[in-house]
Amino acid sequence: MRAFLVVMDSVGIGGAPDAASYFNDGVPDTGADTLGHIFDACARGAAEEGRSGPLHLPTLAGLGLYQAADLASDGARAGDQPVTGLWGAATEVSKGKDTPSGHWELAGLPVPWDWHYFPDRVPAFPQDLTDEVCRLAGTDGVLANCHGSGTVMLDQFGEEHIRTGKPICYTSADSVFQIAAHEEHFGLDRLLTLCADLAPTLHAMKVGRVIARPFVGEPGSFTRTGNRHDYAIKPPQPILTNWVQEAGRRVYAVGKIGDIFSMSGIDEVRKGDDATLMRHLSDLVDEAEEGSLTFANFVEFDSLYGHRRNVSGYARHLEWFDAELARLLPRLREGDLMLITADHGNDPTWTGTDHTRERVPVLIAGRGDGSIGQVGFADVAASIAAHLDVPAQGPGRSFL
């Protein structure tokens, strides 16, 4: 009896009841639907780069993905394909459409405060904060000091960063402070130390994450590396990983889960790009201890395709994930559960470049078939705990 909790980062399914309160470039998220709009784009031949035709997700569809999507947003895309899993749609209550908010609540802890967000103006950061960055970095200034996309920040400020040594500091609609620096000219260790030393100041402001964004290359060809590191606020109360660990079970983190939870309740971390993470997940399906929890996040749906509004790329990644999942599910042991969900939306057809407020799918292999209906994010943690027979401490209720 083991549990595998797999987050398809940003694969929302529309229908959030409070979407009108969240915005992209001043436009409310009302009507945002990551999966639905990708499905429609593929159906009309508008997502043909590196793939072709209707969106092909037989494994996820067989677990009830389209039924969940129809439940979330009153759609009609499910058709008559037979379903072999449990399925439902989850609604978030935390006041944020960001990574920590979604993951904390999936792990049983709705965010107990309002995050701090930086204003979309130049400069975005208060002077005392930039002064502290300069003190810690040993520089006489910072670059950017604004909202922006990471790749745009590199194109716009990378050359000046190399020339002056000033760190590139930027934010987004999320509660985040990001610092980009060249691994060779500025130094990777120096960047990581800067972010680690700065994190307590930002956390005291209730900024969710300080993110180190290292890059390499020369002007005109800068690329971000896999050495990103998130310095997140530690959850203030026990979460699913703690519940499992305190019961004497092992907790494996795949991807950025360890960073998101500031290593709270984590025994082992495995990182890499999504292809590498899938290999790690595959290995853990074979190797994870009895009674354990494997908590995985696949970030490239979000980072490579959602934020960049790349519909074809997002569709390709969904189809890749589906094919990989088809190879994993038959290898689950008797008594295992795999629950596949998401943390927020990032509709690649939407205006702006930020996350979108949406419901998310809840798809479960290993516990029969049928609808679990509309559930809460925190119910995911309660259900995983019930499956593993460990005490749950959060507000969620098991749907198993």
Q: What are the binding residues for Mn(2+)?
A: 9, 302, 307, 343-344, 355
CA distances from 385 to 3, 126, 208, 396 (A): 9, 42, 26, 10
Identify whether 391 is preceded by a cis peptide bond (ω within 30 of 0). no
Single-letter residue type at 168:
I
Q: Provide the token pair at 189.
A: 């260790």
Q: What residues contact residue 221 under an 8 Å CB cut-off, 6+ apart?
A: none
User: Within 13 A of 268's CA, how many CA atoms are on the CB side?
Assistant: 14
Q: For the chain, percent helix, then strand, then coil, each to nearest 5? A: 35, 20, 45
Positive/negative CA dihedral, 196, 295, 149, 91: negative
If one counts every other C-beta atom within 10 angstroms of the C-beta of residue 140, the result is: 9
- The backbone torsions φ and ψ at residue 373, rounded to the nearest 5 degrees and listed phi first, read 80, -155
User: Does residue 123 have a cis peptide bond before it, meaning omega lies within 30 degrees of 0?
Assistant: yes
Binding-site positions: 9, 302, 307, 343-344, 355
